[in-house]
Each structure stands twice: as structure tokens, then as C-alpha cells.
Amino acid sequence: MDKQEKFDQQEKSAQRGKPDAAVQASDARPVLEGPDIARVLTRIAHEIVERAKGADDVVLLGIPTRGVFLAQRLAAKLEKITDRKMPVGSLDITMYRDDLRMHPPRALARTEIPGDGIDGRLVILVDDVLFSGRTIRAALDALNDIGRPRAVQLAVLVDRGHRELPIRADYVGKNLPTSLRETVKVLLAEEDGRDTVLLGAKPTS
Amino acid sequence: MSKILIRGAKVLGGEPQDVLIDGETIVATARQGEIDWSGAGLSAEGAEVVEAAGKVLLPGLVDLHTHLREPGREDSETVLTGTRAAAGGGYTAVFAMANTFPVADTAGVVEQVYRLGQEHGYCDVQPIGAVTVGLEGKKLAELGAMHESAAGVTVFSDDGKCVDDAVIMRRALEYVKAFGGVVAQHAQEPRLTEGAQMNEGVVSAELGLGGWPAVAEESIIARDVLLAEHVGSRVHICHLSTAGSVEIVRWAKSRGIDVTAEVTPHHLLLTDELVRSYNPVYKVNPPLRTERDVLALREALADGTIDIVATDHAPHPHEDKDCEWAAAAMGMVGLETALSVVQETMVDTGLLTWAGVADRMSFKPARIGRAAGHGRPVSAGEPANLTLVDTEYRGLVDPAGFASRSRNTPYEGRELPGRVTHTWLRGKATLVDGKLT
Amino acid sequence: MQRHLISAADLTRDDAVLILDTAEEMARVADRPIKKLPTLRGRTVVNLFFEDSTRTRISFEAAEKRLSADVINFTAKGSSVSKGESLKDTAQTLEAMGVDAVVIRHGASGAPYRLANSGWIDAAVINAGDGTHQHPTQALLDAFTMRRRLVGRDAGIGQDLTGKRITIVGDVLHSRVARSNVDLLHTLGAEVTLVAPPTLVPVGVENWPCEVSYDLDAVLPKSDAVMMLRVQRERMNAAFFPTEREYSRRYGLDGERMAKTPEHAIVMHPGPMVRGMEITAEVADSERCTVVEQVANGVSIRMAVLYLLLGGNEPAVSHARTTEEK
């Protein structure tokens, strides 16, 4: 690999090893706080009910790690609104990534498809940040091996732009214009002990 | 042949001396600078001078256990390449083992090997005759005919195979008494070593390689020393490799049994831990043993329980070692590294003096094999079979520089002390400044 | 993890747990309509078998195909030890074809180690059983089976086998399965006891991280899992034990003996079983016998190993799970 790739990779592994350290060390500032996150999730839940006409065939699939928690939170909100049990699961896309050859293999996360499957249903993929779109492309491939949904939609907490593929989100918590020199980090209580979205400068090594 | 004056060499590691060679013979030795050669009725005039200050002068080394492979396996070694390797290692006489193709079990084959050695002139070659026809352990070979041949064979061995039949062994021991011969036994109980690949112990258990128990060697040695005692013959034990074997030989000697024993340089240095690499360069018969065995062997060589160092120089072509362990041939080349390994394990550790080295690598092996003119003191009137060693040298072993046709050394890249710079065979230099002539 | 998988002893506890966790995810692929992942697309794996072993080969082949690798099967039966050069030549031939990994089964102990370390080839080497040395994927699938049964499918994630008491019974001397299991189970914190007639225990076993017993009945009540090794009939002729009958009586597992184990205990066997010799049909067909599960788990484990060795640009690092990059 060339030098630049190596550099990118080290940077990413640094992030992987200690998720918060890199962001916190570089003067990250919060762009969404706990109450904001709760509010936008509520809004997205209402949008889903509205656009999916009652959401009676919706299946929520979160993309690990934080997408899964967001999907669970959305499901809880949807259950409140519709008073119906909302199928929610997780979809690990690791083995469908297009950059597998650029890194050491990653540990796999759980793929958990709700009991009735996804065939003929409206699958809503849930993730924390939409960036290049490559994760979502991988998720679409993964879905393809699992079943045939009626339609697939995408919900994200933050859309930070810089798409590299023709992919867009159907439900966006917050549009956040960023530069490529910045990082966006979503922290959630389930994983990180608190809810916040941090915008910071990319650490220079 | 002209005169050679070796100046200031530490003879057998002692005080610096000058040694004057005229023709094939040492004509005088003296404390350095103290003798007026002309006063002794001699002239050093016109002598080629070899400055040997700081170096150790030894009698030419004698190897009682060499595989020269000719006839039959000239792809791994020939008498020429093997004797060049011997000269490079400081040897002036080697005993060539009988496991050639055809086997050296007749007067014809031993004479052929003997003559090749004489023709090439690098090192005297004393053929060893097979004990049994075809090394098959069933029928005695014509031991008397081999003795009476031009080769004058006195040492007999089925090396590579054990004379495991007790009756055949007994007969051989008895039979060679008639002409002062000796049987050199490769002690390996065959049933206990079926499928054996390495020393049986902690490492073999882990590696899943067939175990070669120490008792397979020790039980044969015990039997053979008792047989030798019973028939009043002498017996020589090849490549002793275990602490238990040392105990048995020590006991036998204390009883007055006429037994002699040899140890190889590799068994003085290497252990079965090396097999963890599965690199067949460490595959050898008998196998590398444990550290405890290595230490016992060193001690036994120092105290004389083990009489001599013999190389078991066993050349193999590259392809016989560049493969998986089980498929690989057993054996290591050793002529060109033997003295360095002995210096490393015995001299530099304080276990043996250079005089002791001369004893274990020249005097005694010559006596066991009845090699006339070899293993003689470095003094006036003796044949000029000499080896000059730079004992201060340290260097990495590089098999590319070997004279042997094969490269299967376990020491590649290892730092070892000592370097033979000159070898003289009856006054003729076979090695000068580390280069073969 | 190292670049090759040669010996179970090379795996750290974290490596091993990562493999087991990954295998747990791989196992779920088998429940899907499309049992295939694109992960090793474009990678070529050769199954180089110098020894007959249809079971192991098809298990690897299934794993490779589920990960979309291109698979070449090369069976070189009978050309192993007698023609030593053939291993090197064969390996180099395959290397020239652009192989990314070699799964090798060989009758000579150490052949995979040689292949990986001799500089003959660059491909990753996975040991599928060598002589009486190692069979690391077998040990991994056994540990996986134990963790599922004794700790739990989900509860086991991230866990090792600390405190589990595993008894391995039979021909330990000639068994690469026993060697691999002792190494791996010890690494995973289990307590291993080997039970065999003294003739079938190797000299040097005292340095292994396990106990040795000659008395099966005494050990059974303290066993969470009992692994029965295959005993080949030809061992009888080599005087390792007097008769088949006597062996079965002293070291075979029948219903009566199985009843001496705790109720949760499982009975394992690497297969193929010699019914009536080391195990009775009653035990082999019982609920507690995991033989069939072990076969299924074998595919998951091999998928995990292949993914972790070949899925990236270098072998996996065995620390915690990753966070995703967008």
C-alpha cells in the first residue's frame, strides 16, 4: 500500500482502538446534545409513521454498533405512537465492505433479523452518521442475501455530506455541513455512557 | 620436498616453539629462538617460513567416523571433495564408513576407496569394512580378506545400522581378535526405534515426531560391553549421545572392559530444542538429545570416559534436506567445523586443554584405528602430519565456503571460534592460510 | 494473530476467543436462505491434501465456498513421504498459480510448519492436520462446541472455558486432536485430564498443561465434557493393548459409564467413530453426544479462521470489537 493509505489506516485503527480519545483530544465541540437527539428521533418516528402510512409493515434494522441502539430507540417511539409491536433487528455489514482488503479483518457484529423476516416488508436501515455512503451500499448488498423487502429506506441521525455513491437518506436527524478535515462522532448512552454528537478536527498524528 | 620452518607456534597449546620440517618428517623442535639450527647439525637455510605466533600447533587430526559416500553417492560427496573438506578442517587421516553403494564389505571396494585417497593426496583415507554382508546384519563379511587387502582394514562397522543380532555381534567381536581389529558399533536397538524421528522426550511429545528413546542406544551398549568382556575382545561405540550411555561406558571401563567411545561435535553442542523448527538440517542419527545429555557428554569427554571426538561427517544433497522432516535424510557434515565446535564446547569452557584436544582428536583415534604415522607427538623424527589453528579467530559459519560437496551443516550463520589455517600431510601442505592447495 | 495457523499453541486467549466469537456469527449464515458471503471474493484457496480425509476437506471446502473464495482441490495421496521433494514442488506449482492460502493436510508432522517457514511460498498456510502433531481447527471447533453447550450460545460471546473440566480419552500418543485440544483448552482456561492406557500416552507428557489418569471411572464424575478419541485397530497388533475387548472394557464409553458423568456433561468425538471400540452405539446416538454438531460447527470455525487470516490486508488483531467508520 502507498504511504497515504497506510496513514489513513493507522488513523482509523487509532480511532478503532480508543473510540473517544481521538475526538476528545482534538477540541471536539457538541453539535447535538442529549435532549436534541431525543427530539430528532421523535421527529423521525413521526415522519416514518406518516410516510409509511401507519408503518404496519416496517422492519427497523440498525447498523452496528450505534445504529442498533438508534433503531431500538426509534422502535420504542414507534410503538408508543402506533401502539403496535415494532420489529427491530441489526444488520452487520462487515463482510460486505468494499475496503476489507485495506485493513486487518474486523471482529464481526451481530446480524439479527426479526422473526418474520424482511420479505415484502419496508425495511428502514438505521445508522448514526451518513458520510461516503459506502456503509449503506454494503448494507444493501447484505440485505440482498437475506431476503427481498418491498422497499428499503434509510434513517440517520447525522448527514455530514461528502457522498461517494448515489445514496441519500429518507430521514435525517440533522444535516451537518462538514469539511473532510473534520470528524463527526456520535456517542450514545448504551455504548458510551452519554448522548451527544461531537464535531472535531481530524487528529494529526 | 623442501624445508618448512613453523615459527613461534604454541605446540599443543604450550610455550611457543619453532618446528622444522624436512621432507616428510619433523626434524627438530625447540623453544622459540633458542636453538641455533646449524649447531644442531641442521640448517633452516632456504626453509619456507610460516609465521605462527599466537597459533596452536596440533598433530594432524584423525577422524574415526567419516562418510565419503564414494562409491555410489557421488552427488553428495566423493573421496576427493571429502578429503579436501578434511584437510580444510585440519585432518590428516579419516576413516571412511562402509555404507556406500556397493557396500564396503569386500576387499575390492575397500581397496578402491583407499587408493582414491592416496591418489588425491589431501588426507589419508582408511576404509572401514562392513561387519556383515550388505550391512544386513545376517552374515559376517570377509573381515580377514579386508584386513589383508592393500587397505589393511582394522575397523569394522555396519554404521547406519546396528549389529543387533547378539550372536552375530559376538562372532564379529571374537573373529577380529585374530588380527587386532575392532568392531565399531552403531548402537540402536531397531525395534525400539521403528519410525523414530527425534529424541523421545518433552519435545517429541509436543512435536508429534516419533520418539527415539535413549534406552534404544543404552541397551545395545550395555549388551555389547558385556559381550566384549565375555569374549575378551575390544569394542568401540560410535557417536555416544546420552547421559545413560556415558554411565554404562564409565562402568564398563571401571570393570576393565576394553571399550572405547566417541562423541560427535554436534552432540556436544546442539539439543533437541532445535527440532522445534522442523528444519531437517537438525535431523541426525543418533538424534540430538537434551541439554542434560550434552553436559554429560562434555564431562565424559573431559574425564576420558569418552575417548575421542569423531565427526560422523554425513553429507547429503540439498534436496534430501529441503523437504519435510519425515522425508529428510539423517546426518550433518562436520569435518570443516569439528575443531571449532570442540573449541567452543570444550576448550573455551575450560573443560579441555589443547593438549587434551590433541589427545581426543588425534592421538587416541589413531590408536583405536591403528592408523600408522598418525596421532604422533610433535617432535623430531615423527611424520610431519600437523595442523595449525588460529584459536583467536571468531567468525560466522558460511557453508558456501565449504570444500565438501554438501552443505547440510547445522551451524550456518552461527558464530564459532577457531580456524584451521594450515594442514600438512607428511610435510606436504594441504591447506595454506585457510586455502586448500 | 499470526499469518498462518499451524498449531493451536500459537493462539493467544484473545485470538482464540475472537475466532470463537467470529464463528458464532458465521454460524448464523447457515440459517439464511443464501448461505454465502462475498468476503473472500477473488481470493484463491487450495486444499492440499496428502492424506485422505474427505470430512475435513469438504468442511474446509464448504467454508471457503460460503465466503466466496475460489477453491482448488489438490489431492496428492500416496506421494507424501516417499517423495519428499513433492511437497515443495507442489507448493511452488500452486504458488505460481496465484494462490492466497494453502489448507494442508499431511501425514508428516511439521509439514505445514515447513511450508509456512521455509520460504517456499508466500501464501498463508492453514494446518488441516499434520501427522501426530496438530489439528488446530479441530481443537477450535471442539472448543466452540463446548462453549455453546457448557456456557451458552449467546452467553458465551467473549467468554472462554475457565473452570470447565474436559476429559480426553484414548490414543493420545498418536493423536493430533489430543495435542491441539490440550494446548487450546489450556489457553482457554479449562482443566484437561487425559485418560489412556500408559502405552498410549507419550513420553514427555509430564510437561503438558494437563493431568494424566489411567482410570476413566474415577475421572468421569468430574467431567463437564468427555472427548473420546478414535482408537485404530492396528494399534492392537503393535502391542499397545492386548485385545479390543480389554480396551473397550477399560477405556470405552458405554451407557453405564456415561451415567457417571454430571447431568450436563457432553460426549464428544472428532470422528470417524469406531462404534463398539471406544464408544457404544447407545452413547454415540444419545442426546448428549455432540458428534453431528461438531461437524456443523467445523464449517463455522473454518469460515472464521479463513476470514480472520485472509479477509483483510493482514491477519486480524485480536483486541475488542471495532467501531464502524462511515
**Tens digits of residue pLDDT in B147-158:** 999 999 999 999
Judge residue C207's burial from the number of C-beta atoms within 10 Å of its C-beta, 0-12 exposed, 13-18 middle, 19 or more buried: exposed
- Cα dihedral angle (C290, C295, C296, C297), rounded to 10 degrees? 80
Q: Scanning every residue of chain B, which has its alpha carbon at the shortest distance from the alpha carbon of C175?
A: B208
pLDDT at C81 over 50: no
Q: Are B181 and B211 in contact (CB under 8 A)?
A: no
Distances (CA, A) of B349 to A66, B125, B343, C96: 66, 32, 8, 50
Distances (CA, A) of A57 to A4, A62, A88, B327, C315: 46, 16, 12, 66, 42
- Would the annotation count B374 as a binding residue? no
Q: Is residue B241 part of a domain?
A: yes
Does residue C85 have a pLDDT over 80? no
Pick C106's closest partner by Cβ from B202, B205, B324: B324
pLDDT score for B285 = 97
- Interval B201-236: pLDDT, tens: 999 999 999 999 999 999 999 999 999 999 999 999
The answer to which of A18-32, A111-125, B174-188, B203-217 has the lowest mean pLDDT is: A18-32
Range of the domain at B248: 59-369
pLDDT at C324: 39
Q: What is the pLDDT of residue C320?
A: 38
The pTM assigned to this predicted structure is: 0.90
Cell of A7: 496513514
Q: Which pLDDT belongs to residue C229?
A: 95
The pLDDT confidence band at residue B360, using thresholds 50, 70 and 90, is very high
Length reported for chain C: 326
Q: How far apart are CA B25 and CA B8, in angstroms?
A: 18
Residue B346 located in a structural domain: yes
What's the CATH superfamily of C136-291? Aspartate/ornithine carbamoyltransferase (3.40.50.1370)
Res C238: pLDDT: 83
Q: Find the angle CA(B260)-CA(B261)-CA(B267) to the nearest 5 degrees.
A: 170
Does residue C285 register a pLDDT over 60? yes
pLDDT digit string (tens) for B45-91?
788 999 999 999 999 999 999 999 999 999 999 999 999 999 999 99
CATH number (domain holding residue B297): 3.20.20.140
What pLDDT score does C39 carry?
A: 94
What pLDDT does A61 receive?
Answer: 97
- Determine whether the interchain pair C108/B203 forms a contact, defined as Cβ–Cβ distance below 8 Å: no
The CATH label, of 3.20.20.70, 3.40.50.1370, 3.40.50.2000, 3.40.50.300, for the domain at C8-134+294-310 is 3.40.50.1370
Q: Could you say which residues from 324 to 343 on chain B have a Cβ atom under 8 Å away from some Cβ of chain C?
A: 324-328
Question: What pLDDT sits at residue C279?
Answer: 94
Q: Is B165 annotated as a binding residue?
A: no
- Please name the residue of chain C whose CA is at the shortest distance from the CA of residue B214: C203
Could you tell me which chains touch chain A, where touching means 3 or more CB pairs under 8 A? C
B82 found inside a domain: yes
Residue A78 makes CB contacts below 8 A (sequence gap 6+) with: A45, A48, A49, A55, A58, A60, A84, A86
Mean pLDDT in chain A?
Answer: 87
Q: What is the mean pLDDT of residues C146-151?
A: 97
- Name the band, by pLDDT with cuts 50, 70 and 90, for residue C102: very high
C76: confidence class by pLDDT, cuts 50, 70, 90: confident
What is the pLDDT confidence band of residue A4, given thresholds at 50, 70 and 90? very low
Confidence of residue C87 (pLDDT cuts 50, 70, 90): confident
pLDDT at C80 over 70: no
Q: Do B320 and C111 touch (CB under 8 A)?
A: no
| pLDDT number for residue C75 | 84
Find the helix or strand (DSSP H, E) in which C54 lies: helix C54-66
ipTM value for the complex: 0.90
Per-residue pLDDT reduced to its tens digit, B280-328: 999 999 999 999 999 999 999 999 999 999 999 999 999 999 988 999 9
Rounded CA separation A134/A100 (Å) = 12
3-state per-residue secondary structure call for chain B: CCEEEEEEEEECCCCEEEEEEECCEEEEEEECCCCCCCCCCCCCCCCEEEECCCCEEEECEEEEEECCCCCCCCCCCCHHHHHHHHHHCCEEEEEECCCCCCCCCCHHHHHHHHHHHHHHCCCEEEECECCEHHHCCCCECCHHHHHHCCCCCCEECCCCCCCCCHHHHHHHHHHHHHHCCEEEECCCCCHHHCCCCEECCHHHHHHCCCEECHHHHHHHHHHHHHHHHHHCCCEEECCCCCHHHHHHHHHHHHCCCCEEEEECHHHHHCCHHHHHHCCHHHCCCCCCCCHHHHHHHHHHHHHCCCCEECCCECCCCHHHCCCCHHHCCCCECCCCCHHHHHHHHHHCCCCCCHHHHHHHHHHHHHHHHCCCCCCCCCCCCCECCEEEEEEEEEEECCHHHCCCCCCCCCCCCCEEEEEEEEEEECCEEEEECCEEC
Condensed to tens digits (0 to 9), the pLDDT of residues A130-188 reads 999 999 999 999 999 999 999 999 999 999 999 999 999 999 999 999 999 999 999 99
Cross-chain Cβ contact C25/A12 below 8 Å: no
pLDDT > 50? residue A5: no
* CATH number belonging to domain A34-97+108-181: 3.40.50.2020
Which sequence spans correspond to the domains of chain C?
A: 8-134+294-310, 136-291
Identify the CA nearest to B10 among candidates B50, B53, B46, B72. B53
Q: Do B323 and C113 touch (CB under 8 A)?
A: no
Give residue B385's pLDDT band: very low, low, confident or very high (50, 70, 90).
very high
**How many domains in chain B?**
1
Does the pLDDT at position B42 exceed 80? no
Taking all residues of chain B, what is their mean pLDDT, rounded to a whole number?
95
Interface test with C, best of A5, A70, A91, A95 (most C CBs within 10 A): A95
Question: Is the pLDDT confidence value at C121 over 70?
Answer: yes
Q: Domain segments of chain A: what residues?
A: 34-97+108-181
Q: Return d(Cα B73, Cα B81) in angstroms, integer.
A: 12
Q: CA neighbours within 13 Å on the CB side: how many for C124? A: 22
B159 is in an annotated binding site: yes
Look at residue C232 in the predicted model and tell me its pLDDT.
Answer: 81
Percent of chain C whose pLDDT exceeds 90: 76
Q: Is residue B272 part of a domain?
A: yes
Reduced to 3 states (helix: H, G, I; strand: E, B; else coil), residue C139 is helix
Q: What is the pLDDT of residues A34-74, one digit of tens each?
A: 999 999 999 999 999 999 887 789 999 999 999 999 999 99
Nine cell digits for residue C159: 467468554
Same fold, C8-134+294-310 and C136-291: yes
Residue in the block written with cell 580456524 = B419
Residue B54 CB coordination number (10 Å): 12
User: Cα angle vertex C35, ends C34, C38, to 5°?
Assistant: 90
